Structure 1
Amino acid sequence: MHASTERLYQAAKQMRDVSGQSAVARLLNESPQTVKNWETRGVSRAGAMTAETVIGVRAAWLLTGEGSMSAGSTSPIVINQTQAVMESEDLVRIPLLANCGSMGPGNEMLDADYVVGDLALSSHWINQHIRPGNIRELKFIHAHGESMAPTFSSGDVLLVDVGSRDPSSIEGVYVLEVRGQLYIKRVRVRMDGAMEVSSDNTNIKTVDVLNGDHQLNVLGRVVWAWNGKKL
């Protein structure tokens, strides 16, 4: 077995009490075949970044074995619930949804918001950095694709405020549903009042103007990406 995958299994067991190929795949919202492939080829960079967010293990340690296993106490995410009780009684569990947003051609939307896990955030950190209208309207989703680079990388975990759905009041990056497909795009209001949807990647930049003919549903605004970027 590849050394990076051995370290992944070690971290999942030690930090989340999860063991076995299938259980680790569910934890990371990956297919069992993907995790099986990692046993031979090694954990992908995107997989390591997801593990850093979901498990709390350092991506660099997973990939190289260098440094410490833990992502450290500077992260606002608290993974171990026993540790969480000891360190703070002011935690909020944020659901991690199975739905994934596409930074590309679109991902098929599931028929419901299936929760595959959760991450604990300090409410103090949330109120200091995010200031949502309602903490209970925060959700985590994975993002895949390259159209929003360098703002996001494929595999980033995004914190979405599903209570913020009006781009005319706050311009930013939104999760959009169009004909059953999920997208992550930047939305701004033009001077003529029309809404413009675009990608950040200059190599594949696309711009669409919403003229009322689009069957579009705004599902929420991206407020933080777990590469540490506030939106």
Structure 2
Amino acid sequence: MNKAESLERLLEAAGNISQEELARALDESPQTITNWKKRGVSKAGAIKASAAFGISTNWILNGKEQPDSLNASKVIEWDSSTNVDDDEIEVPFYKDFLVSCGVGTLPQIVGQPARKLRLGKATLRSYGVSPENAYALTAHGDSMKSVINNGATVYVDLGQTNIVDGKIYAINHGGLFKFKYLYKMPMGGVRIVSENKEEYPEEVLTAQEMIDQEFCVVAYAFNVQNPLP
């Protein structure tokens, strides 16, 4: 496969953005993007783009995976009787930590996670997630319905808290934990958007309101496993 096609896949998977928009989003020089057009996206560039756009690095580099940041990976529940392969890690699963997809709820974590899930190291690498930053949380409510359904298990990266416009994050807003789309606003503000916009109108906070309302980004949601119908 022509390496130069990797840039085309990246631009398309990122929403058919232009090379100039890509350079700004990744804080790269236009010359770097031009080099990618000739020689293909570098591995380092693919990892950076994966974190920014939620696209698999394998998809960017060789087109072998679908570019959907929230498609369910092949995840398997882990318990003490299950051997963990060398190419997998144990992800703490806070089943009772309900991240609200609605009006919000206080976290209910007591002691250690009750269960663990196992996730392939290759999957984490494809999303640019360090193993020690990977956690699994439960979502409830319907403000993100069709993307994150009630009862979904959502895999998050505590190491990615810088907002990339249009990506989904677990947030803490005044002690209430939710999954929401986030967008940066001028002067350090933030725009908080639900998938179900009619029932859950968007909110816009200034930088001062973020402080006053104790708003912070907890983690980037890189994968979801929605419950079966």
TM-score, length-normalised on structure 2?
A: 0.58
CA 1:102–1:91: 2 relative to 1, 3 Å: same
Q: Does 1:116 align with 2:114?
A: yes
Mapped to 1, the partners of 2:128 and 2:111 lie a distance apart of: 23
Conserved? CA contact 1:138–1:159, under 8 Å? yes
Aligned to 2:103: 105
Conserved? CA contact 1:171–1:189, under 8 Å? no
Between the two proteins, the alignment pairs up a number of residues equal to 150
Q: Give the letter for the 2:91 counterpart.
A: I
Aligned to 1:46: none
Conserved? CA contact 1:99–1:142, under 8 Å? yes
Structure number with the bigger relative contact order (C-alpha 8 A, sep ≥ 6) is: 2
Mapped to 2, the partners of 1:112 and 1:164 lie a distance apart of: 25
Q: Does 1:176 align with 2:175?
A: no
Mapped to 2, the partners of 1:177 and 1:79 lie a distance apart of: 27
Conserved? CA contact 2:98–2:139, under 8 Å? yes
What do residues 185-205 of structure 1 show as CA deviations (whole Å, max 9, x unaligned)? 111113665310011113313
Mapped to 1, the partners of 2:128 and 2:112 lie a distance apart of: 25
Mapped to 1, the partners of 2:215 and 2:200 lie a distance apart of: 20
- Helix, strand or coil: the match of 2:140? strand
Q: Does 1:96 align with 2:93?
A: yes
- Helix, strand or coil: the match of 1:126? helix
* Uncovered stretches (5+) of structure 2, i.e. residues with no partner: 1-71
Q: Give the letter for the 2:128 counterpart.
A: R
Q: Does 1:218 align with 2:213?
A: no
Mapped to 2, the partners of 1:107 and 1:114 lie a distance apart of: 20
Aligned with residue 143 of structure 1, among 139, 144, 154: 139
Aligned to 1:41: none
Mapped to 1, the partners of 2:139 and 2:78 lie a distance apart of: 24
Identity %: 19
Q: Give the letter for the 1:146 counterpart.
A: D
**Could you say what the CA RMSD is over the residues aligned between the two structures, in angstroms?**
2.6
Aligned to 1:76: 74
* Uncovered stretches (5+) of structure 1, i.e. residues with no partner: 1-73
Mapped to 2, the partners of 1:150 and 1:204 lie a distance apart of: 14
Aligned with residue 208 of structure 1, among 203, 210, 219: 203
- Helix, strand or coil: the match of 2:169? strand
Mapped to 2, the partners of 1:207 and 1:178 lie a distance apart of: 14
- Helix, strand or coil: the match of 1:188? strand
What do residues 164-200 of structure 1 show as CA deviations (whole Å, max 9, x unaligned)? 1111x56411111122211111111136653100111
Mapped to 2, the partners of 1:138 and 1:113 lie a distance apart of: 18
CA 1:125–1:84: 2 relative to 1, 3 Å: farther
Aligned with residue 186 of structure 1, among 181, 186, 209: 181
Q: What displacement does 1:118 show?
A: 0.5
